[in-house]
Every structure is written in structure tokens, then in C-alpha cells.
Amino acid sequence: MTGVLRSNLAARRPGTRMMPRPGGRSVACAAPARRTGTVGGMRSSQPAPCPLPSTLPVAGVSRTQHIVRGLSPGQELYAVRDDGNAYDPNAVMFVLPDGSLVGYVPRVLNRRLRARAEAAWRCRVSEVLPGETWGLRVTVLPGQPEETPEPRSPLFADTAPPAPPHDPPAVTTRGGRPLGVLDSRQGGLVHVRRPDGTTAAYPESSVRVSADQPRPQRPDAAVSSPLPR
């Protein structure tokens, strides 16, 4: 009798559902709670802060190759908020101690870094990736530096503002499910930087990289054959 009474009371509560049990009786099972954040009564889309330390790929290095090729693992860098960026309000720059621009935090990750309270971050070069265009991975460390270099970019002085940095190529499964962005390729494996900041390796045969996909040809780009005389 007590079990039946508890079941009837639970059935009246919002957020519960009845689950069958052996013997024909049912018990109440609370529905899982959803984690939602609200600001002023409105749902917040603020991303979770990026955990530190965290190693990130560097975007926008194609125009700073003369700097990237001179870096070495362990070298000190800084990550600084680029509040005046005309292309991305969430931009974060990687700069040398003298303020020279090295590159940017990829757009898929910069909002999570800016969600933290610090105005700038100490960093160190984690890996330099030689290639046709040299790449870079940087470890962002916890704690705000006592002094932050004033960002400067002599490469672009007295010229038009630089083009926005290109994000690393997107990586999906063969079926099209997004996995993250390309971090590196080694030994037949594709290393993917996932949205939560972690890295996972997948066999090349099991994923698609957006940079590998042929671009569709425009209809007006077709070559016309001459008419017979």
C-alpha cells in the first residue's frame, strides 16, 4: 500500500515519469535536469571558459612566416585581447615580448579564452611545424602577466588593415559529423583540435578535411568549345 501511494504522489510531480518494475508495479524516475544559464531572465550563450594550461594552434601565420620560422619550443609569448579588431570582436593575438604580431587564437576557440577574467596571458611555444607554410602550437598558461607588451605590427605599418586570419581547416567524419579543426597530420593520423580544447587522433581514411575537398566549379567557368566551321 505504501509503495502504491508513493507512486501515485510521484506521478503528480512535474518532471517525473513512471518506470516499470518486475511484478507489474511502477516507480517514479526524475527526468534529468538541463543545465541552462540565464542573464536577466534571458538564456545566456556565454561559452565555458577555456581551461588552462591549454595548447592551441595558431591561426593567421601565413603573413608572419618570417617570425614563425625563427621561433623555437619554450620561447615566451603573450596572448592579448585585440579589442579593436574590425573583423572579429572576440579576437585574441599572440605577440612576442616586444609586441610583434605572431598570429591569432582560432575563431572557434577565442570566445572561450575571452570568457576568462584575465586581460592577457603568458604563453610559450609548444611546437613549431615546418612545411610549405610553417605552423605553430602555443601553450597558454594560467595567471595574468604583471606587464603586457603593447601589440605592434611593423609588417602592416602604413598599409591597409590585415585580412582576417584563416581558421584551420574543419574536420568531419566521412558521414559529415563535425569533429573540430585540423591540428596536425602525422604517420597517417589526423590530429583534431576539438571544441573543448582537447586533441584527438583519427585515421586519415575515417575523416574528411575541408582543405582536401575540391572546390565546386562555377557554371560560368566551364570551357566552351569552338563551333565547327
Specify the range with the lowest mean pLDDT, choosing from 26-30, 67-71, 104-108: 26-30
pTM summary value: 0.52
Distances in Å between the Cα of 133 and the Cα atoms of 41, 50, 62 are 47, 27, 6
Q: Looking at residue 184, what is its pLDDT?
A: 87
Residue type, 77: L
Taking only the tens place, the pLDDT of each residue in 119-172 is 899 999 999 999 889 999 999 999 888 887 877 654 443 334 444 556 688 899
* Nine cell digits for residue 75: 620561447
Closest CA to 163 of 57, 64, 56: 64
The Cα–Cα gap between 80 and 91 comes to 9
User: Rounded mean pLDDT of 104-123?
Assistant: 93
Q: Looking at residue 43, what is its pLDDT?
A: 53
The Cα–Cα gap between 97 and 161 comes to 22
Q: What residue spans define the domains of the chain?
A: 54-156, 170-212
Class of the CATH-defined domain 54-156: alpha beta
Share of the chain above pLDDT 70, in %: 65
Contact 91, 99 (CB under 8 A): no
User: Rounded mean pLDDT of 37-52?
Assistant: 68
216 CB burial (10 A radius; 0-12, 13-18, 19+): exposed
